């Protein structure tokens, strides 16, 4: 004698079958986050794409920069992009099914042309380009910066390095410029000695041709030289700015 399944069981089976046939599963979680720009403001209508375990899920940020997107456990590739911003992509591992809150994600706006740009309160400030020349005697070679420095307020500097014709944007050296316009010298006699006022900054990659430089600098004048000043250097270019507290 055959038995008939109750109607509600049959209906549940049909619904589950339909959901599975469209590629949806119940073994997924949710990523929640916010997209901001380099000035801390929300980025609305940015596209979010999450790829994991062969599945791809899409979302768009709201007017507050918030998004919510489905993920499958495993190695997750998250991409955020919007027109006129540098696209961001990074990977991370999530092995649990849960609702996970991500830290704020920063999308940097593409600067208006190549060069160095100080990240101000509300917008970029382009740093003036300048030249350096050298003067040599029998005992030393001294380097001088010639140009007008860009005025910058604040001691913690974030500088966007945007290279339009070369994806390698790391080739710059930071020097302090003294009151005479000099960044120091290379002494020949009595022994070879570099007395250049070279400083350290922190560089991080943002995109293929965009980097972020961070430095803590006291008031004074500074020069980002394209390349480095060496015994063979005679003249060259860079970016000149002045920091005030």
Tokens of 120: 């101000």
This prediction's pTM = 0.81
* Residues above pLDDT 90, as percent of the chain: 72
pLDDT exceeds 50 at position 245 = yes
- Arithmetic mean of pLDDT, 46-72: 95
pLDDT band at 189 (very low <50, low <70, confident <90, very high): confident
* CA 241 – CA 115 distance, rounded (Å): 13
Domain 7-106 has CATH 2.60.40.10: yes
Q: Compute CA 22 distance to the chain's CA centroid, rounded to the nearest angstrom.
A: 38
The pLDDT assigned to 13 comes to: 37
pLDDT exceeds 60 at position 132 = yes
pLDDT exceeds 80 at position 166 = no
Q: How many helices (H) and strands (E) does the chain have?
A: 1, 22
Q: Give domain 115-244's CATH architecture.
A: Sandwich (2.60)
Tens digit of each residue's pLDDT (9 = 90 or more) over 66-119: 999 999 999 999 999 999 999 999 999 999 999 999 999 999 999 988 899 999
Tokens of 37: 């720009």
Give the residue range(s) of CATH 2.60.40.10 domains in the chain.
7-106
Flag the least confident range among 7-21, 124-138, 143-157, 163-177.
7-21
- Arithmetic mean of pLDDT, 3-21: 40
The pLDDT assigned to 163 comes to: 85
Residue with tokens 């007017």: 63
- More confident site: 1 or 98: 98
Q: Who's near 33: CB < 8 A, 6+ residues apart? A: 66, 67, 101, 102, 103, 104, 105
* Residues above pLDDT 70, as percent of the chain: 87
In 3D space, the residue among 161, 160, 127 whose CA is nearest the CA of residue 145 turns out to be 127
Q: Are 198 and 173 in contact (CB under 8 A)?
A: yes
pLDDT band at 170 (very low <50, low <70, confident <90, very high): low
Angle in degrees, CA 209, 85, 42, rounded to 5: 135
* CA 152 – CA 129 distance, rounded (Å): 14
pLDDT exceeds 80 at position 7 = no
Task: Please state whether the peptide bond connecting residue 76 to the residue before it is cis, i.e. omega within 30 degrees of 0.
Answer: no
pLDDT exceeds 70 at position 2 = no
Identify any residues that bridge with 141 across adjacent strands, giving them in sequence order: 136, 186
Tokens of 94: 């999530």
Tens digit of each residue's pLDDT (9 = 90 or more) over 211-237: 999 999 999 999 999 989 999 999 999
pLDDT band at 23 (very low <50, low <70, confident <90, very high): very low
In 3D space, the residue among 191, 181, 245 whose CA is nearest the CA of residue 217 turns out to be 245
The pLDDT assigned to 168 comes to: 52
φ, ψ for residue 129 (rounded to 5)?
-80, 150
Task: Please state whether the peptide bond connecting residue 190 to the residue before it is cis, i.e. omega within 30 degrees of 0.
Answer: yes
Angle in degrees, CA 48, 53, 54, rounded to 5: 75
């Amino acid at each position: 004698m055959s038995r008939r399944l109750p109607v509600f069981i049959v209906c549940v089976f049909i619904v589950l079958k339909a959901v599975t046939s469209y590629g949806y599963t119940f073994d997924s979680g949710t990523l929640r986050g916010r997209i901001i720009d380099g000035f801390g403001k929300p980025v609305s209508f940015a596209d979010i794409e999450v790829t994991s375990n062969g599945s791809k899920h899409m979302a768009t940020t709201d007017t507050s920069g918030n998004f919510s997107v489905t993920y499958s456990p495993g190695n997750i590739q998250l991409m955020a992009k919007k027109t006129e911003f540098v696209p961001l992509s990074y990977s991370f591992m999530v092995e649990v099914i849960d609702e996970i809150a991500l830290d704020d994600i920063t999308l940097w706006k593409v600067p208006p042309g190549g060069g160095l740009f100080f990240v101000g309160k509300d917008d970029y400030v382009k740093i003036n380009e300048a030249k350096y020349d050298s003067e040599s005697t029998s005992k030393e070679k001294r380097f001088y910066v010639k140009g007008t420095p860009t005025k910058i307020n604040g001691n913690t500097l974030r500088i966007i390095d945007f290279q339009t014709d070369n994806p390698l944007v790391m080739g710059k050296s930071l020097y302090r410029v003294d009151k005479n316009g000099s960044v120091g010298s290379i002494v020949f006699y009595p022994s070879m000695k570099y007395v250049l006022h070279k400083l350290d900054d922190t560089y991080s990659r943002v995109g293929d041709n965009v980097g972020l430089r961070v430095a803590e600098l006291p008031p004074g004048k500074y020069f980002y030289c394209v390349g480095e000043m060496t015994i063979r250097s005679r003249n060259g270019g860079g970016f000149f700015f002045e920091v005030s507290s």
